[in-house]
Amino acid sequence: MKKIINPVAVLILILTLISCSSKTGFRKISVEEYRSKMKAGWLGQMAGVGWGAPTEFTYCAMIIPADKVPVWEPHMLNQQYQDDIYVEMTFLKTLEDYGFDVSIRQAGIDFANSRYMLWHANKNGRYNLRAGIAPPYSGHPQYNAHADDIDYQIEADYSGLIAPGLPQTVVELGEKFGRLMNYGDGLYGGQFVGTMYAEAFFETDILKIIEAGLRCIPAESQYAEAIRDVLNWHKADPDDWKKTWQLIENKYNLDPNYRRFSCTGTDASFNIDAKINGAYIVMGLLYGEGDMDRTIIIAMRCGQDSDCNPSNAGGILATSLGIENLPDKYKIGIDDTTKFSYTAYNFPALIDVCEKLSREAVLRSGGRIEKKSGIEYYIIPNQTPYPIPLEQCWAPQEINEDIHYSQQEMAGIFYRVRKPEEFVNVWQVAGPFSKEGVKGVDLIDMKFPPEIIREFPKWKKLPMGESGLRADEIDLAKYFGQENCVAYLQTNVWINKTQQILFELGSDDGVKVWLNDQLVHRNNAVRGHEPGQDVVNVQLEKGWNKVVIKITQGVGGWACSLALTDLDHNVLKGLKYRL
C-alpha cells in the first residue's frame, strides 16, 4: 500500500494552483436566473427520486420493462423523507454555520449528530464517526467496506447547486464532505455529479456538461473509464440505449475486474457501486435528449439504484433548463411547509440558504456581485479544476497517523456508538408469522399467537453472539431469512428499585413494545436499523419486569436493538436478565 497523502496539504496545493492557473475571463448570470436554475435543480432531483422510488433495486441486472414504470403521480414531487435529498441538508447547514473554510473534522461531527435513516457507506461512515474515527478515515476502505458505494454520488447535487460555474469549488466540497463516507471511485462519483450541476448553469449541451464533469476526476480512474465508455457507446449507437445498457452490464456488472470493492462481492446481481450507477445517470442524460420525462425514465429503467440515478439525471437537466422551462408537473404542488427529515430546512428555506451560500462561493472564488438597473449579477471567474490524485479502494493509501477524534471533539458528538455489552442480549424469539398476501407494513397491528396466548409455549432462546449473530444487534434477517412477516422477542429484566428509565430502541422495520403486558410504544416505520432510533420513557417496577417486542419485516434487512438507560442516557448498571 502507498502512504497516505495529507488531505490538508493537497488542498493548500490545489488552492495555490488555482490562484496561479485559473483561466482568464468570467461568466455572468443574474441572481434571478441562478435562483431559477437552482430551484429547478432541486425539483428535478425530487421528481426523479420520487418517480423511481417504487422500483429501487427491484430490478437488478435487467432493464425495467416499460409496463412496470410507475405512473407519475403529483405526490412524487415531495420527497422530504428521502436520503437522496435530506443528507445534503446537513452539509448545507454545516456550511451555513461555519462557512466554506469549515474543517473536515467539524463536518464529521455534524454528520455524526444527524438523526435520519442511512444505508451503506453513509451508515458505516456515520457509525465510524460516532465511534470516534475521524474523517477522512471514516470513509477509508480500511474502516468502511462500502467506500466505493453510491452514497456521496447521490447527495453531491448540493455542491454544484451552490457553486455555479465553479468546478474546483465542487472538488473541494467533495474533499470535505464526500470523505466522510467514501473514497476513490465512490468519491469521484460525487465530484463528477456536482460539477455537472455547476456547469449546467451556463450550458445546455449535455455532452459538454458531461465533459465538464470528467475534467474534475482522475482520468485514469475506473469511474472516468465508465463515463468515457458510455460516451463512446452512445456515439456508436445514439438511438439504441438498450444496446448501450447491455455493454455497461457486461463490463461494469459482470466483469469482476470492475467490482473489486463491491460491497456484495463480484457475483451478486445487486450492484450499488458508484461506477455502474454513474453510467446510468449519463445514459439518461444522453439518450433523454433534453426531455425531462425521457431522461428520468431511461435512467430509471436501467435498474439497480433506480431512484437515485434518475434523481441525479433529472436534477442536472432541470438545472440546465431553469424553472421557466420545466413542465408543469415538475413544479406544481410542492410542499413549502414540511421540513426535510431531521433538518432545519423546508423547501423555501432550502432555496434561500443555497442562494446565500452561492454568494459566498462566488466571492471567495475571486468573483464579484454587481448590480445594474436594479438587477444583481454574479460575475464568476473561469476556474481550472484540479482532480485529486488517483486512489483505489482495493489498493488504498496506507494510514500512518492517529485516526481518532480527540476527547474534546468527541464531547461534541451527542449520539455515540454503544459498546456491545451495553445492549440487552438475553432474548427469546417466536415466529416468523405472516398472512398470505399481506405486506410487512400492514402486519403491525395484526395479532399472532404470542399476543393472544398468555403463556405461549413456542419461545426459543436466541443465540446472541453465536452462529454468526452479533451480540449488539438482533439480526432477524440472518436468523429467519424471510420477508413480509413479523417476529416477537421476549426477555425479563430485574431492577432493585422502581425507576423511570429510557428504552433506546432501534428497529428495521416497524416496532411495538409491551412492558408488563402494557403497550408502551408503537412505530410502524419502514426503515433500516440504527440503535436508539426511538427513545421511550417507561417505568420499571422493583423486581422482575417482562419486555415483549414485535418487529415487522417487509423486504431487505430485519433487525432491532434495545439499551436501557437512565434519563440522561447513561446505561443502567446492576440489571439482571432471564428468559
How many Å apart are CA 526 and CA 548, to the nearest integer? Answer: 20
- The phi and psi torsions of 339 (rounded to 5 degrees) equal -80, 145
| pLDDT on residue 472 | 77
Helices (H) and strands (E) in the chain, counts: 19, 14
- Residue pair 212/195 in contact (Cβ under 8 Å)? The answer is yes
Angle at 476 between CA 473 and CA 480, to 5 degrees: 150
Q: Cβ(391)–Cβ(147) under 8 Å?
A: no
Which tens digit of pLDDT belongs to each residue from 517-553?
Answer: 999 999 999 888 888 889 999 999 999 999 999 999 9
Contact 547, 493 (CB under 8 A): yes
Residue 310 in contact with residue 51, Cβ under 8 Å?
Answer: yes
Q: How many CA atoms lie within 13 A of 246 on its CB side?
A: 4
pLDDT higher than 50, residue 39: yes
Q: At what angle do helices 185-200 and 206-214 cross, to 10 degrees?
A: 140
28-32, long-range: CB < 8 A, 24+ apart: 28/377, 28/378, 28/379, 28/380, 29/164, 29/165, 29/201, 29/202, 29/377, 29/378, 29/380, 30/375, 30/376, 30/377, 30/378, 31/355, 31/369, 31/375, 31/376, 31/377, 31/378, 32/375, 32/376
As a whole number, mean pLDDT of residues 140-146 equals: 94
Least confident piece of the model among 32-36, 351-355, 435-439: 435-439
Q: For strand 576-578 and strand 543-553, is the pairing parallel, antiparallel, or unpaired?
A: unpaired
- What's the one-letter identity of residue 450? P
What percent of the chain clears pLDDT 90, i.e. is strictly above it?
Answer: 85
**What is the per-residue pLDDT for 233?**
98
Residue 411 CB neighbour total at 10 angstroms = 10
Q: Give the bridge partners for 490, in sequence order.
A: 428, 548
DSSP state, residue 59: S
- Determine the average pLDDT of the residues in 274-292: 98
The CA-CA-CA angle for residues 542, 544, 547, to 5°, reads: 115
Q: Is the pLDDT of residue 7 over 60?
A: no
| Domain layout of the chain by residue ranges | 7-408, 420-578
For residue 299, the number of C-alpha atoms closer than 13 Å in the C-beta half-sphere is 37
pLDDT at 17 over 50: no
Q: Span 347-374, mean pLDDT?
A: 98
Dist. CA 545–CA 6, nearest whole Å: 53
CATH class of 7-408: mainly alpha
Compute the C-alpha angle 136/363/219, nearest 5°. 45
Which pLDDT band holds residue 452 (cuts at 50, 70, 90)?
very high
CATH code: domain 420-578 is 2.60.120
CA distance linking residue 240 with residue 216, whole number of Å = 28
User: At a CB cut-off of 8 Å and minimum separation 6, what does 364 contact?
Assistant: 100
Strands 428-433 and 534-540 come out as unpaired
Q: What is the dihedral sign for C-alpha 4, 138, 81, 560?
A: positive
Summarize the confidence of residues 340-348 as an average pLDDT.
94
Question: What pLDDT is recorded for position 21?
Answer: 40
What pLDDT does residue 419 have? Answer: 80
Lowest mean pLDDT among 198-202, 207-211, 265-269, 468-472: 468-472
Label residues 363-383 b or e (16+ Cβ within 10 Å = b).
eebebeeeeeeeeebbebbeb
The per-residue pLDDT for 348 is 98
Query: Is the per-residue pLDDT at 154 higher than 90?
Result: yes
**Mean per-residue pLDDT, 322-328:** 97
The contacts of residue 173 (CB under 8 Å, 6+ apart) are 91, 156, 159, 163, 194
The Cα–Cα gap between 299 and 78 comes to: 20
pLDDT for 12 equals 43
Question: What is the overall mean pLDDT for the chain?
Answer: 93
Across the range 570-574, mean pLDDT stands at: 92
Asked if residue 564 has pLDDT above 60, the reply is yes
The pLDDT-based confidence of 24 (bands split at 50, 70, 90) is low
**Alpha helices per DSSP H over 201-346:** 206-214, 222-236, 241-248, 274-288, 292-301, 308-321
Identify which of 8-22, 316-330, 457-471 has the greatest average pLDDT: 316-330
Question: ω before 509 within 30° of 0 (cis)?
Answer: yes
Q: Are 528 and 565 in contact (CB under 8 A)?
A: no
- pLDDT by residue (tens digit) across 205-220? 999 999 999 999 999 9
How far apart (Å, rounded) are the C-alpha atoms in residues 69 and 457?
Answer: 46
pLDDT tens digits, residue range 379-423?
999 999 999 999 999 999 999 999 999 999 999 998 878 888 899
Span 228-269, pLDDT tens digits: 999 999 999 999 999 999 999 999 999 999 999 998 888 889
Tell me the torsion sign for CA atoms 243, 247, 250, 252.
negative
Identify whether 256 is preceded by a cis peptide bond (ω within 30 of 0).
no
The confidence band for 19, taking pLDDT boundaries of 50, 70 and 90, is very low
Residue 539 pLDDT: 97
DSSP secondary structure string, 508-532?
Answer: ES-EEEEETTEEEEEE-------TT
Q: Using N-to-C axis directions, what is the helix angle for 222-236 and 241-248, rounded to 10°?
A: 150
**Cell output for 363:** 466571492
| d(C-alpha 369, C-alpha 496), whole Å | 68
**279 has a pLDDT exceeding 90:** yes
Q: Which of 93, 89, 96 is nearest to 42 (CA)?
A: 89
